[in-house]
A and B are shown apart, each in its own frame.
Chain A
Amino acid sequence: MTDTRSIYRRIIRRETHSPRALLAMVLAVALIVVFAWVGSEIVLALLGHSALLVAPRDMITAAARLDSDQNAAVTASGAGIAVVGILLIIAGVTPGRRARHTIELDRSAVIVDNEVIASALARSAAYAGDVDATNSHATVSHRRAVVRVTPASGVPVNRTAVTEAVDDDLAAFGLQPAVRAAVTIDERGRVGV
């Protein structure tokens, strides 16, 4: 059995980054279709049958004639294809971080969706600010949490209490990487809630 730490490191790495599996599979299917088609056309041409779509020799002849009067169209479609290529290269090279954090516990590796963290923070903020849960919203990104509380009309919200509650929560969660909170209390309250 390998060292548990290295197993956890691998799991955490894999759970917090995209496998790029969907994109790779879509490309693989597209390549299979193209290869199968080109192969079929070559076989049909060898047997002297008529082509499915375009005979290989017509393909190349058409490519040779590209130069005539379609320059603008060729340039435009070439640019489009190049952009797609660049996007694919970017997708292949960037880490593809998922919206997740990890929590260190003694026994296991814990991976938490940012959405879950946000809903916990929103709930704490609602309690601390004494507002209805529907009037407290939170979003969590890689290193920042933004909590927004809308007070009920005429009932001021204690900003310090909300900030403390959110900070306490974040400290207790012990997220990796650490998240810092920014609390906003809306200037205008909402009637009836």
Chain B
Amino acid sequence: MNSTNRAMNRIVIVIVGTFLLACGLVAVGVGAVASVRDAWRVAVPQLARTARAWVRSGADSADTAVAVAIVAALVILIVLLIVFIFRQGRGHTSRLMTDATTDHGSTIIESGLAEQLVQDALADRPELLATRVSTYRVRRASVLKISVVARRGASPRDIGVAIDNALHALDAVVGVQIPAAIHIGGGLRTRMTTAARLS
């Protein structure tokens, strides 16, 4: 429901995975294959000489510039990663719908209204242990999310239909049909409670 960029999550995971795999394979090569080890003996000291020049204090400016550029790149990467972390799990909205402005003014319905109406309508249902209603933006539309915890043994379809009916009532109040997603979950509370006599 939230606006987490899942493709980006996977890209980050695959990039880190590929990097680790490459490092691991190189290490295995250096440790176990003689020809790779020889190449490593030639390549790394050269790299070491270059790198040493970059970070030597009081080195000439061209070398220092490389080190500064590396540090700058690292800082940018860190900022991007922090942004990446804080982009996770967002997408809530407080605006349910905004009607087109007419001569008589415009109508704005806040999410809180729908959330409380649905919550109240479901409050007395014995098969629901907990209800949480929130509103998300999905594809530029407001979508209600109704998360409920089912009592042990309750029929998920009956719960779905009950919530569906509550939503139909909401449609009548609000005047438009707001898309809705219902999540029926279990968990510790489901397992700990006794089954209610429903029929």
Q: Give the distance to chain A from B95, nearest Cβ to Cβ, in Å.
A: 13
Q: Are B55 and A46 in contact (CB under 8 A)?
A: yes
Q: Are B190 and A119 in contact (CB under 8 A)?
A: yes
Q: Assess whether B62 is interfacial by the CB under 8 Å rule.
A: no
Q: Assess whether B75 is interfacial by the CB under 8 Å rule.
A: yes
From A5, which residue of chain B is reached at the shortest CB distance? B179
Residue-wise interface mask of B (47-90) relative to A, using a CB-CB cutoff of 8 A (1 in contact, 0 not): 11001100111100000100110110011011001101100110
Q: Are A105 and B6 in contact (CB under 8 A)?
A: no
Contact A133 B24, CB 8 Å, known A15-B181, A108-B182? no
Q: Are A10 and B153 in contact (CB under 8 A)?
A: no
Q: Are B85 and A28 in contact (CB under 8 A)?
A: yes
- Residues in B with CB closer than 8 Å to A63 are 44, 48
- Residues in B with CB closer than 8 Å to A115 are 185-187, 190
- Residues in A with CB closer than 8 Å to B138 are 7, 10-11
- How far, in angstroms, from A103 to B168 measured CA to CA in the complex? 17
Q: Assess whether A191 is interfacial by the CB under 8 Å rule.
A: no
Binding site for B on A (CB under 8 A): 1-2, 4, 6-8, 10-12, 14-15, 19-21, 23-25, 27-29, 31-32, 35-36, 38-39, 42-43, 45-48, 55-57, 60-61, 63-64, 66-67, 70-93, 103, 105-113, 115-117, 119-120, 122-123, 133, 169, 172-174
Binding site for A on B (CB under 8 A): 1, 4, 6, 8-14, 16-32, 37, 40-41, 44-45, 47-48, 51-52, 55-58, 64, 67-68, 70-71, 74-75, 77-78, 81-82, 84-85, 88-89, 138-141, 143, 146, 150, 152-157, 160-161, 163-164, 167-168, 177, 179-187, 190-191, 195
